Structure 1
Amino acid sequence: MKIGEFAKRSGVTVKTLLHYDKIGLLKPSEKTDSGYRIYCEDDFLKLQQITTLKFIGLSLSEISHTINESGENLEHMITIQKKALEEKKKHIESVIAVFNKAENKAKESKFIDVNNLINIIKITNMEKSVKEQYKSDKNLNLRSNLHSYNINKIDWDKWCFNQMYFPDQAKILELGCGVGKLWYKNKDSINKELSITLSDFSKSMLKIAKNRLKEIDHEFTYQEINAEDIPYKDGSFDVVIAQHMIYFVPNIEKALSEIRRVLSPGGIFYVTANSCKSMYELNELAESFAPNLGLDSNGFSNRFDLENGRAILQKYFNKIDIEVLDGKIIVNSAEPVVSYKASTIQGSSVLIGERKKEFTRYLEEYIKKHGNISITTKACMFKAKK
């Protein structure tokens, strides 16, 4: 069929089809000598894939790679799309739950609290931004670089590891393992009898972690896991670990319920978070430079932090202890500070182009006047027992 008929039958505009042809995403099966584009039944299947992947938030370049370069067979492609749509469904359900909560509040008090509106905005926007943030380890590395200037030279991952107790032959699950730093930094202290499952919602992070830990003499298990839906039976693990990731989960309550479910009786959940006071000097500098653009906070981390974490955990765990690690970053160069702030979720959309250069000059002037930039760090570990 010609492009007009194909567009009519598929519900896609001719303009869209011409664009897909131009960028090589969906080329017609053939072109006549007179230049007419001819489409066939197989093109409907490819268009369906494009439409579905676009709906779940992939860019056209990502869609092109998925369907033209990945080499996956049709059955696997359908499985991928189905899984992605299920994730989308869960996210929509989380948003609906927040709206229901806001609606109930409005019925009770005749108005919606501003915090409820902020909650709706955050949850509806966070999933895409978090996935973008952790496509690779680039942003993690930029933030680690600034922390290398901390005058408290206690290594964070070694400190965390030393806070944890692993029973003999314990079954351990780490959620949001990232690039596997916890285990790489403590590779000489890992008991070979431990059964360790490393998980992350990002395939890229898991791939990097697996490659990084392959030199360690331990048989790790790797699995892509959404913390709101952990694919293990009740009581499967003696220990669950989540370092600085719980506040990224759209539905924190659901995740904590799942974590409690998969812990064995007496099992321990080790979860780390920031204090709301952490990095406050940097946040104030950024806000002074660009007021009201969202640079004055630590992003989503205030959803679960040192100050509110105990109250959230108490709904699901019997006993909660807290350990705190204080520090101070002293830096006399603007570059690592700019790179850190520009690598964050909120900074990545603000500190770009000329504004990033202006922020660099702004900090250079500050350093010239004060000698350095001093930034408070304060993080904690909750030890929550089932």
Structure 2
Amino acid sequence: MKEAHLYTTGEFAKMAGVTIRTIRYYDTKGILKPSHHNDSGHRLYSDKDFSKLKKILALKYLGLSLDEVMSTELNFEKDDMVNSLKMQKNIIKNKINHMKIVLNAIETAEVSMKNDNDLNWDKTIDIIEILESEKELLQQYIDSSNLNASVKLQDRFSSNEYGWYNWVFKNINLKKRSKVLEIGCGNGALWARNIDYLHDKTDVTLTDICEDMINDAKVNLEGYPKRFNFQIADPNNIPFKDESFDVVIANHILFYMKDLDIALKEINRVLKPGGRFYCSTIDGNHMKELEELMLGFNSNIKISEERLSTKFGLDNGESILNKYFNDIQKYLYEDKLIVNDTKGILEYIYSIPGNILEVIDNKKKEFEVYVDKSIQKQGELHISNSQGLFKSIKK
């Protein structure tokens, strides 16, 4: 029985907003064959063909290559769509963040040129190289998507009986009437996970340089509006008076500081005499197996954990803190992530800032198959979760 509506190639292309050449190319590749031909042999497309074309265009927009679209046989499930949308969102965010750095470089170079009589290319290039080297750190610091994915990863696959946030809170051991400041509170996970153990007389102020993260923290703690104060604040210029707090907490944040010395001076300034400073970090082995997995797919992929630990890590943290604090103690978090779910680890990988999304941009399906086969081959993937906490006292 002949279908009610048939369209020529030109009509079909116009309906979809693509070129006739694209429609013909899809036919040649075998990805979208016309349902009918007229007596002259010309292509005729149906409404069912149009529905299939819209799926193809949607998958292409989400970053799949034509070969990957063909391999899905258009059997794309909801979870696949959600992951693809997250990936595309992170690609866009990374591009936005990169453009912010380029703009900063242009403005800095512009000021430099105005102050110099002659064009100094060496100075301009140095400025751009410095800003470019900080791109990955900035991207990870200002974007809450990686933090949210990291929290979820810890929750699902940690082998530690406490879990990271409960372990940190237990070691901080807050006193009943303490005035507490958290620098870089992120999404407020430390407090949301330990709200039942927080005394109602403890005064907690949560700060972050990123408004999105403050908003996330407010949402996660919305049931306890009177328990917390929220404020956007730069760690390099903490907007509180000298000796205001009994405790300052910096959870996985110091290695993002452009000038760590300034941040530590500020933290020391707002602490009361004898006040306690707790800061967490990682070492160079953190997530090393995950990096090795990704390098096995493409040697150009990199994650920044080793760089972060070099700036402020478990190995050098004590010597850095010693300039401003006494009685430094280090607590190691004993844990490893045991991953047996491909989608769970992919959700985290897709959130990692840097070049991962660019490298696998048109090889997403191939990358997912590679990760899945790697996990299936080993049964489960063991990932080093090398984190720890420093406790110190204001000098």
Q: Same fold (TM over 0.5)?
A: yes
CA distance in 1, matches of 2:365, 2:185: 33
CA contact (8 A) 2:136 2:353 kept: no
CA distance in 1, matches of 2:378, 2:96: 44
More displaced 10-residue stretch of structure 1: 184-193 or 300-309 = 300-309
* Alpha-carbon offset, residue 214 of structure 1: 2.4
Runs of 4+ in 1 over 4 A off after TM superposition: 57-60, 116-119, 121-124, 296-299
Higher relative contact order (CA closer than 8 Å, sequence separation 6+): 2
SS at match of 2:234: coil
Among 124, 129, 133, the residue aligned to 2:139: 129
- Taking only aligned residues, the RMSD between alpha carbons, in angstroms, comes to 3.3
TM-score by length of 2: 0.63
* Alpha-carbon offset, residue 173 of structure 1: 0.5
* Alpha-carbon offset, residue 265 of structure 1: 0.7
Q: Would the alpha carbon gap of residues 126 and 254 (structure 1) be closer, same or farther in structure 2, given more than 3 Å must change?
A: farther
* Alpha-carbon offset, residue 381 of structure 1: 0.5
1:334 alignment counterpart: 342
Among 238, 253, 259, the residue aligned to 1:245: 253
* Alpha-carbon offset, residue 255 of structure 1: 0.5
2:13 alignment counterpart: none
SS at match of 1:216: coil
Q: Within 5 Å, which residues of 2 pair with 1:152-163?
A: 152-163=160-171
Cα displacement string for residues 124-170 of structure 1 (whole angstroms, at most 9, x for unaligned residues): 42565245523xxx332322232211222322111111111334422
2:130 alignment counterpart: 120
1:214 alignment counterpart: 222
Matched, 1:273 2:281: yes
Give the number of the structure whose alpha-carbon radius of gyration is greater: 2
Instruction: Provide the aligned length of Structure 1 versus Structure 2.
Output: 280
* Alpha-carbon offset, residue 257 of structure 1: 1.0
Cα displacement string for residues 51-71 of structure 1 (whole angstroms, at most 9, x for unaligned residues): xxxxxx9969x99xxxxxxxx
1:235 alignment counterpart: 243
Among 153, 158, 164, the residue aligned to 1:146: 153
2:291 alignment counterpart: 283
Report the residue type matching 2:220 in the other structure: R
More displaced 10-residue stretch of structure 1: 334-343 or 211-220 = 211-220
1:383 alignment counterpart: 391
Q: Would the alpha carbon gap of residues 124 and 359 (structure 1) be closer, same or farther in structure 2, given more than 3 Å must change?
A: same
1:9 alignment counterpart: none
Q: Would the alpha carbon gap of residues 363 and 118 (structure 1) be closer, same or farther in structure 2, given more than 3 Å must change?
A: farther
Q: Would the alpha carbon gap of residues 278 and 208 (structure 1) be closer, same or farther in structure 2, given more than 3 Å must change?
A: same
More displaced 10-residue stretch of structure 1: 301-310 or 262-271 = 301-310
CA distance in 1, matches of 2:304, 2:260: 23
CA contact (8 A) 2:207 2:233 kept: yes
1:108 alignment counterpart: none
CA distance in 1, matches of 2:260, 2:130: 14
TM-score by length of 1: 0.65
Cα displacement string for residues 57-112 of structure 1 (whole angstroms, at most 9, x for unaligned residues): 9969x99xxxxxxxxxxxxxxxxxxxxxxxx79x979xx9xxxxxxxxxxxxxxxx
Report the residue type matching 2:260 in the other structure: I
Report the residue type matching 1:245 in the other structure: I
CA distance in 2, matches of 1:177, 1:126: 20
* Alpha-carbon offset, residue 256 of structure 1: 0.7
Unaligned runs of 5+ in 2: 1-93, 113-125
